[in-house]
């Protein structure tokens, strides 16, 4: 088979890929992507590929006659998540897999680290050298709230949310979740779209893990931020475009939300004058939630595991289409 890879791996991961795809032929683009998340440019080598790994150009995938399996090196798959693409893939028998199982642990831990840092008020506590007994010290201690017995709403219930629920287990929280297609095995309270406003008003934490697609754009808008309980915290480790950032900045400036913790923004990074950068209690990490030691090697091993399954005609892991 001919396997096209446009993913920009570290040297050791690239070597692992070269060795692992044998005896198949590995096709590389003239210009590799800048990261495993970045969109690639169309490339002439793509046309003959039966398998593609990376983030290939959507039009090239749609135009290919040879492609049978597309493996994405990310958990997100926004650019392929359209009705048109799904229909085309179904008509051609094209399988699409992503790398969500590579990222679920790191993403869940990142969201959880945000929640712990918020509940212990780490940004404020790390920034002061106030002495015991001062009003600032008493206020800081009083502002620290245990997760124990609090409520959280998770928007988007997939592998990351399932792992987050495990990490939250020792805190005996009430956990609500919104899921497009509930399966009944979530082990938490699933809320319907109609119950969403009441749920937003009931919880102390809203964790957004929604993927980005036509329906999720600005899902968290001004009305939904207004529905949240005063003093609640908002977290986003999904995609920046699912949030109306002006509405979020306003809610923070008004002091309605205690804090926002964002690993994703729209665009990334935000321009220097963006209102979120000056909003109070807005904490932003630069899309590092999925990152972890040996990530490139893990991505390659995940693909190679699927390649062995593909060769054997077995079901692929992390199949999304």
Minimum distance between the CB of residue 166 and a second copy, rounded to whole angstroms?
Answer: 5
Which of 22, 83, 91, 126 is in the footprint of a second copy by CB under 8 A? 126
CA atoms of 302 and 287, how far apart (whole Å): 21
Residue 275: closest CA among 292, 250, 309, 302: 250
Contact flag: residue 38 with a second copy (CB under 8 A) = yes
Q: Which is nearer to a second copy, 94 or 233 (CB)?
A: 233
Category of 283 on φ-ψ map: left (φ > 0), alpha (ψ -120 to 50) or beta: beta
Residue 302, burial from CB neighbour count under 10 angstroms (0-12, 13-18, 19+): buried
- Pick the catalytic residue: 110, 205, 287, 302? 287
Structure token pair of residue 250: 């306003």
Q: Which is nearer to a second copy, 192 or 278 (CB)?
A: 278
287 a catalytic residue: yes
Category of 237 on φ-ψ map: left (φ > 0), alpha (ψ -120 to 50) or beta: alpha
Q: Which is nearer to a second copy, 48 or 285 (CB)?
A: 285
Residue 91, burial from CB neighbour count under 10 angstroms (0-12, 13-18, 19+): exposed
Give bridge partners of residue 25 from the DSSP assignment: 2
Residues 6+ apart with CB under 8 A from 232: 203, 204, 205, 206, 257, 258
Contact flag: residue 37 with a second copy (CB under 8 A) = yes
Q: Which is nearer to a second copy, 64 or 119 (CB)?
A: 119
Contact flag: residue 14 with a second copy (CB under 8 A) = no
Contact flag: residue 193 with a second copy (CB under 8 A) = no
Q: Of residues 95-124, which lie at the interface with a second copy (CB under 8 A)?
A: 105-106, 109-110, 112-113, 116-117, 119-123
Active site residues: 287
Site of interaction with a second copy (CB under 8 A): 8, 10, 34-35, 37-38, 105-106, 109-110, 112-113, 116-117, 119-123, 125-126, 128-133, 137-138, 140-148, 166-167, 169-170, 268-270, 283-295
């Amino acid at each position: 088979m001919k396997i096209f890879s446009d993913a920009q791996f570290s040297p050791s991961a690239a070597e692992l890929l070269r060795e692992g795809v044998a005896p198949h032929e590995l096709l590389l683009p003239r210009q590799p992507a800048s990261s495993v998340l970045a969109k690639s440019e169309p490339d002439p080598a793509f046309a003959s590929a039966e398998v593609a790994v990376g983030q290939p150009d959507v039009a090239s995938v749609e135009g290919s006659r040879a492609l049978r399996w597309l493996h994405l090196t990310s958990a997100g798959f926004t650019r392929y998540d359209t009705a048109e693409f799904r229909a085309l893939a179904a008509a051609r028998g094209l399988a699409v897999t992503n790398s969500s199982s590579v990222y679920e642990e790191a993403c869940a831990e990142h969201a959880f680290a945000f929640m712990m840092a918020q509940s212990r008020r780490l940004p404020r506590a790390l920034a002061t050298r106030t002495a015991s007994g001062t009003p600032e010290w008493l206020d800081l201690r009083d502002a620290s709230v245990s997760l124990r017995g609090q409520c959280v709403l998770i928007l988007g219930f997939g592998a990351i949310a399932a792992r987050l629920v495990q990490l939250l287990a020792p805190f005996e929280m009430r956990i609500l979740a919104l899921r497009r297609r509930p399966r009944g095995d979530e082990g938490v309270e699933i809320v319907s779209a109609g119950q969403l406003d009441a749920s937003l008003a009931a919880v102390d934490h809203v964790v957004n893990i929604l993927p980005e697609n036509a329906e999720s754009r600005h899902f968290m808008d001004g009305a939904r931020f207004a529905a949240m309980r005063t003093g609640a915290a908002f977290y986003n480790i999904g995609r920046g475009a699912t949030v109306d950032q002006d509405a979020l900045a306003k809610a923070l400036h008004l002091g309605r939300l205690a804090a926002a913790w964002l690993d994703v923004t729209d665009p990334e990074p935000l321009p220097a004058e963006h209102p979120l950068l000056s909003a109070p209690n807005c904490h932003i990490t630069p899309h590092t939630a999925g990152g972890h030691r040996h990530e490139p090697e893990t991505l390659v091993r995940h693909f190679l595991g699927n390649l062995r399954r593909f060769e054997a005609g077995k079901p692929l892991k992390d199949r999304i289409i």
